[in-house]
C-alpha cells in the first residue's frame, strides 16, 4: 500500500465512524454521566466488538452469512431488538429524572460495577449489527495488492480503523465534557436521554426493517 492509499482509507474510516449512530450517542451519553476518561474506557468494549467483526470478515464469515440469509436476518433482528431495548430504557431513565451532578458515597461505591455494565452495553452495541462484517469484507480488499500476501496488511488496516474510531469517538466524548454544565442541567439531561433513546430506537427500527425485507 502507498501512503495515498492509507490517507484514503483513513478518510473513509473517519467518515464512517464519525457519522451519527448508536456508538456515537452512547459514548456522548457516557461522557456526560461518568466523565471523559471512563467514557473512553467503556468505549473499548465497542472497539473490541468492531475489531472482532472485522477479523470475522477475514475468516469468510461474510460468505456464510450471504449463503444463509435467514441466519443473517436473525442476527440483524437480535441486534435491532437490543438497540430498541436500550432506547426504551433511555426514555424510562428520562422519566425518572435527570442524573444528579454529585453522587452519594453509596453511589460512588457502586460506580465500578456500573462502569462494567456500561462496558458490556458498549460491546453489545458494537457487535449488534452484523452488516459490519459485510462492510469490512467489501472495504478491506480494495486496499490490498492481490499479488501479495494480504493478511498482514488487512490486520494493519483493522488496527488502523479501530484507532481512528477511538480518536473520533473520544473526541466526541471530549466535546461533551466541555459542555457538561449545560448538559447536566435537569431539563437538558432529560432531553439528552430522550435524544439518545430516540436515536437508538431509530437505528434499531431501521435494522429490523432491513432484516424483514
Tell me: the pLDDT tens digits for 144-203?
765 565 577 888 899 999 999 999 999 999 988 887 666 555 555 566 667 777 877 887
How many Cα atoms occupy the beta-carbon half-sphere of 184 within 13 Å? 16
Confidence grade of residue 44 (pLDDT, cut at 50, 70, 90): very high
149 phi, psi to nearest 5 deg? -65, 120
Q: Where are the alpha helices (DSSP H) in the chain?
A: 3-18, 22-34, 36-58, 61-67, 69-96, 105-127, 131-139, 151-178, 180-183, 186-212
State percent of the chain over pLDDT 90: 21
- What is the pLDDT, as a whole number, of residue 66? 67
What pLDDT is attached to residue 79?
72
pTM: 0.72
Query: Which pLDDT belongs to residue 42?
Result: 95
Q: What's the whole-number mean pLDDT along residues 127-147?
A: 77
pLDDT of residue 56: 87
Amino acid at each position: 500500500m502507498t501512503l495515498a492509499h492509507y490517507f484514503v482509507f483513513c478518510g473513509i474510516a473517519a467518515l464512517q465512524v464519525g457519522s451519527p449512530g448508536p456508538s456515537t450517542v452512547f459514548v456522548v451519553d457516557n461522557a456526560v454521566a461518568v466523565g471523559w476518561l471512563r467514557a473512553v474506557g467503556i468505549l473499548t468494549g465497542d472497539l473490541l466488538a468492531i475489531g472482532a467483526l472485522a477479523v470475522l470478515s477475514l475468516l469468510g464469515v461474510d460468505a456464510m452469512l450471504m449463503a444463509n440469509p435467514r441466519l443473517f436476518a436473525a442476527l440483524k433482528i437480535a441486534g435491532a431488538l437490543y438497540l430498541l431495548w436500550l432506547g426504551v430504557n433511555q426514555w424510562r431513565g428520562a422519566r425518572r429524572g435527570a442524573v444528579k451532578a454529585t453522587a452519594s458515597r453509596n453511589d460512588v461505591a457502586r460506580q465500578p460495577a456500573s462502569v462494567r455494565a456500561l462496558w458490556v452495553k458498549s460491546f453489545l452495541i458494537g457487535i449488534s449489527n452484523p452488516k459490519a462484517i459485510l462492510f469490512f469484507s467489501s472495504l478491506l480488499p480494495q486496499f490490498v495488492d492481490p499479488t501479495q500476501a494480504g493478511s498482514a496488511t488487512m490486520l494493519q488496516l483493522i488496527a488502523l480503523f479501530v484507532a481512528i474510531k477511538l480518536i473520533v469517538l473520544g473526541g466526541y466524548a471530549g466535546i461533551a465534557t466541555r459542555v457538561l454544565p449545560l448538559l447536566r442541567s435537569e431539563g437538558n439531561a432529560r432531553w439528552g436521554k430522550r435524544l439518545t433513546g430516540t436515536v437508538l430506537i431509530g437505528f434499531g427500527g431501521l435494522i429490523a426493517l432491513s432484516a424483514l425485507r
